[in-house]
Amino acid sequence: MDEYGQIKIKIAEIMEQKGLSKTRLAHLALLDRKQLNKLLDGTAARIDFAVLARICHALQCQIDDILEYIPK
């Protein structure tokens, strides 16, 4: 964790609740499987707003369901 805190990506938790596989989410959100894997394992350096919107649409959730700010 850096001096400003961190952003936790909670996509995997929502996928599990909805019973969606990585392959299915990638298809629904028009994502490359490698891009989705980077988000799921926390190695993505950045994420586009359009990608976030597609993921929220595919998971039928709100942005705060998949992203969480954790203060230092």
The neighbour count for residue 48, using CB atoms within 10 Å, is: 9
pLDDT in tens, 25-64: 999 999 999 999 999 998 998 999 999 999 999 999 999 9
pLDDT in tens, 42-51: 899 899 999 9
pLDDT category of residue 2 using cuts at 50, 70 and 90: confident
**pLDDT for residue 18:** 94
Tell me phi and psi for residue 8, to 5 degrees: -100, 130
Helix (H) or strand (E) run with residue 65 in it: helix 63-66
